[in-house]
Amino acid sequence: MPAGNRRLAQWRVTWLIEHSTSHQLLWCIDSFVLQNPPLRQAPNRYAAA
């Protein structure tokens, strides 16, 4: 394997790791919001105690 390709592969893996970790929090928030949209009606405040 030529050294140039090896260096490119290392850079690619490093970029993937940095890119995924930097956007991981935003991705988690987005997926959480998409799976759990805000409730459209207020919770029942007069529930039986």
Token pair listed for 49: 């105690």
| Best CA proximity match to 10, nearest among 39, 18, 34 | 18
Q: What's the pLDDT tens digit per position in 1-49? A: 555 567 777 777 777 777 666 666 677 667 766 676 666 666 666 665 5
Domain ranges of the chain: 1-35
Token pair listed for 19: 């890119």
Question: What SS3 state is found at 48?
Answer: coil
Distance in angstroms (rounded) separating the CA atoms of residues 42 and 49: 18
- Please indicate, yes or no, whether the overall pTM of this predicted structure exceeds 0.85: no
